[in-house]
Amino acid sequence: MNTETTKCLIIGSGPAGYTAAIYATRANLAPILYEGLQPGGQLTTTSEVENFPGYPDGVMGSQMMEDFKNQAARFGADIRSGYIEKIDLSKRPFEALDDNGATVMADTVIIATGASAKYLGLPDETTYAGMGVSACATCDGFFYRGRTVAVVGGGDTACEEAYYLSGLAKQVYLIVRKPHLRASKVMQKRVTEKENITILYNTNTLGLFGEGFLEGAHLVEHAGTDKEHKFDIKIDGFFLAIGHKPNTDLFEGQLKLDDQGYIVLPGDNQQTSVAGVFAAGDVADPKYQQAVCAAGSGCRAALDADLFLMEQQ
């Protein structure tokens, strides 16, 4: 298999990866970008994005990512639909192996691999995967028209998904483990005012049941207290919206990660614990996780990579 060289390898698409590609191409770094298993990243699984500046009427997440990609391609970024299977960050140039067996030797690497949805860890989630259990309401909500579903979580994602599903399903339960929602005030207002959303506070999921397809969930309210109450709800769909796990398995043992697996950026720029390796977007951002922040950090990572290469000359 062939070996290529590049000044800048970008791993991952999404707002961080594509923005890094826009800036890196304009800095003459001729970057190679691998889009990964989910081209466009998480935004391709959301519905309308209303808070990205420059789209006053909102924009569909997948359309926005197409716009980002086209902008990077216009300047000549080499955008590929594969993924990086293995990478050695122990010496420069860094050596990456793609899913076709080709090797890319890179002077700098920008990691923009994002984060993936978390699951509760119940064995039943696997049993009913694709048969009632989902982590993406906008991908799978269509199958639950006129039916009853539950969403787990109390953050913005959970509220957004519950609200979206309430337009399709007959009834939506929002299962929240705390006595309050964590979501922004505007999202809280939307879900509490929607008549077909029922919020179950102080409630956890014990398990799921059903013959073949999902038919319901076993829940517990006020677990471990004298008010503890176990009960079942009948549902056709169970949607997880309890946060994300950073996609850093590829870099374990090679870069400094925090206790949740996010890439640590030790300085005041996007450089990781390894010189010449930069990170951008949700993979290094446990706090904000917004598309606009990811895009901004993608820009910073490309500028940092360019500066790093100039300093090496």
Give the residue numbers annotated as catalytic, written as ranges: 136, 139-140
Report residue 154 CA to chain centroid gap. Answer: 17
* CA 16 – CA 206 distance, rounded (Å): 37
Which residue, 93 or 261, is less far from ligand NDP as judged by CB?
261
**Least distance (Å) between residue 129 CB and ligand NDP:** 17
Q: Which amino acid is at 288?
A: Y
Taking CB atoms, the residue at the shortest distance from ligand NDP is 155
DSSP H or E run through 4: strand 3-11
Rounded to a whole number of angstroms, the distance between the first and last alpha carbons of the chain is: 30
DSSP for residue 111:
E
Sheet holding 237-240, edge to edge: 133-134, 237-240, 148-152, 171-175, 197-200
Which residue, 152 or 233, is less far from ligand NDP as judged by CB?
152
What does the block give as tokens for 71? 């902008």
**Least distance (Å) between residue 262 CB and ligand NDP:** 13
Binding residues vs ligand NDP (CB under 6 A): 51, 120, 152-158, 160, 177-178, 182, 242-244, 289
* CA 136 – CA 117 distance, rounded (Å): 9
Which residue, 116 or 273, is less far from ligand NDP as judged by CB?
116
Which residue, 80 or 244, is less far from ligand NDP as judged by CB?
244
**Least distance (Å) between residue 41 CB and ligand NDP:** 13
**Least distance (Å) between residue 187 CB and ligand NDP:** 7
